[in-house]
Amino acid sequence: MPNKLTYLTFVLVLTLIMSVVVACDRELNEPSGGEVSVATTTYPLTYLTEKIGGNRVVVNQVVKPGIEAHDFEPAPSDIRAITNSTLFIYNHPAFESWALNAATAARNDGAERIVVVQTINLESSDEDHDEDHDEDHGHDDDAHVWLNPLKALEQSERILSALIEVDPESSRDYTRNAAALSVELRALDDLISRELANCNLGSVVVSHLAFGHIAERYGFEQIGLAGLSPEFESGPSQIAQVIDRIDALGIKHILREPIVSDRLAESVAAETGATLLTLHPLEVRTSAEASEGLDYIDIMKSNAATLHTALGCN
Ligand SMILES: [Zn+2]
């Protein structure tokens, strides 16, 4: 009998904890003292906005930690978070295909004056196609720009302009914070450049093709087990080609991701004898990273260390 009681108590406590967790999850960060309310889609945008906005902004990130960002679809509570915001910041429709519809829904919901900020342009999506476009080197539809710190800096410049537009009185604070952020992002770029300056390999095998911009910046090539989105997994014949290239190039590491499934990465590692390491696409943080307070810079530094090992750098 005591056992049964203990079990019931346990279930009751667990249910209580779960409902508190769910309630917290749905709670919005509300401005309390005239701050600018900002909705962001993904973590790097949250990081940049909080760095520039400081204590003048309250940010709600729509895609929560631990959620796979590519196949995300907003729930009514997410639309409400956008409706309650002055600014809605996203990367590009090539990444958040739902963002513009969500902005329209927010406007219809009463946010007539919401300022919607696309933080990056991509060549082919935004401009005319280049006839001589080289498929192998182009990443015209690759919106994972934040993995190149200098492109994250470009994103931060658009965020700065938008904050000044909606809150001109704080423009000096925003400008000063953005200048400090720029120093940090350039220092990160220098650090990665040094880490990857002298490497034995020129290619890494990654879980999905999220790393085109960082690869272009630091001069290596990514070989993907899936396409631009993790759901576009390569078929058996493509995987066989990847395995051949791993053998031919002498690649010793397969770079898994923290959030998407490891199944394919594990099986290719087992087949080739390669070691699994983690390379973070930084779309969102894991719940553990968020609660430990690991930020964009911390995770990018750990990415640099992973790439240093995987590329066999000195
Ligand atoms: Zn991705």
* Cα 179 to ligand 1 centroid, rounded to whole Å: 28
Question: Is residue 47 within 8 Å of residue 298, measured between CB atoms?
Answer: no
From the CA of 208, how far away is ligand 1's center (Å)? 7
Question: For residue 144, how far is its CA from the centre of ligand 1 (angstroms)?
Answer: 6
Structure confidence at residue 140 (pLDDT): 72
Render pLDDT for 206-249 as a digit per residue (tens, 0 to 9). Answer: 999 999 999 999 999 999 999 999 989 999 999 999 999 999 99
b/e burial code for range 96-133 (CB count within 10 A of at least 16 → b):
bebbeebbebbbeeebeebbbbbbbebeeeeeeeeeee
User: What separation in Å is there between the alpha carbon of 186 and the centre of ligand 1?
Assistant: 23
- Residue 205, pLDDT > 80, answer yes
High-pLDDT (> 90) share of the chain, % = 81
Q: What local confidence, expressed as pLDDT, does residue 304 receive?
A: 98
Q: How many Å lie between the centroid of ligand 1 and the Cα of residue 166?
A: 30
Question: Quick one: pLDDT at residue 76?
Answer: 96
> Distance from the CA of 292 to the center of ligand 1, in angstroms?
23
Query: Does residue 106 register a pLDDT over 70?
Result: yes
**Dist. CA 146 → ligand 1 center (Å):** 11
Q: What is the pLDDT of residue 32?
A: 87
pLDDT at 137: 46
The 8-class DSSP code of residue 47 comes to: H
CA–CA gap between residue 253 and residue 246 (Å, rounded): 9
How far is ligand 1, taken at its centre, from the CA of residue 280, in Å?
10
Average pLDDT for 39-48: 98
Residue 266 corresponds to which tokens in the numbers above? 């594990």
Whole-structure pTM value: 0.88
Query: Which stretch of DSSP H or E encloses residue 89?
Result: strand 87-90
How many Å apart are CA 250 and CA 302, to the nearest integer?
23
Q: Kindly report, residue by residue over 135-162, the tens digit of the pLDDT.
A: 444 567 899 999 999 999 999 999 999 9
| pLDDT at res. 215 | 98
Check whether 133 has a pLDDT greater than 60.
no
pLDDT of res. 25: 47
CA dist list (Å): 214 to 108, 149, 164, 183, 196: 38, 8, 29, 18, 11
- Rounded (5°) CA angle 227-229-233: 50
Tell me the pLDDT band of 182, cut-offs 50, 70 and 90. Answer: very high
313 touches 198 (CB < 8 A):
yes
| Tokens standing for residue 260 | 């998407």
CA of residue 20 to ligand 1 center, whole Å: 31
Phi, psi of 248, rounded to the nearest 5 degrees: -65, -40
Q: Which tokens is 268 given?
A: 């290719």
Q: How far is the CA of 234 from the centre of ligand 1 (A)?
A: 15
Mean pLDDT confidence for 50-72: 96
The average confidence (pLDDT) of the chain is: 90
User: How many angstroms is it from 257 CA to the middle of ligand 1?
Assistant: 10
pLDDT in tens, 1-43: 456 656 666 666 655 555 544 444 457 888 888 899 999 999 9
Vertex 213 angle, CA 211 and 231, to 5°: 40
pLDDT at 141: 87
181 C-alpha vs ligand 1 centroid, how far in Å? 24
Determine the average pLDDT of the residues in 272-277.
Answer: 98
Q: How far is CA 313 from CA 131, 194, 310, in A?
A: 36, 10, 8
Cα 14 to ligand 1 centroid, rounded to whole Å: 34
Which helix H or strand E contains 209, and what residues bound it? none
Task: Please tell me the distance between residue 48's alpha carbon and the centre of ligand 1 in angstroms.
Answer: 19
pLDDT value, residue 28: 83
Q: Which two tokens stand for residue 78?
A: 């997410």
Domains, the chain? 25-121+140-192 (3.40.50.1980), 197-310 (3.40.50.1980)
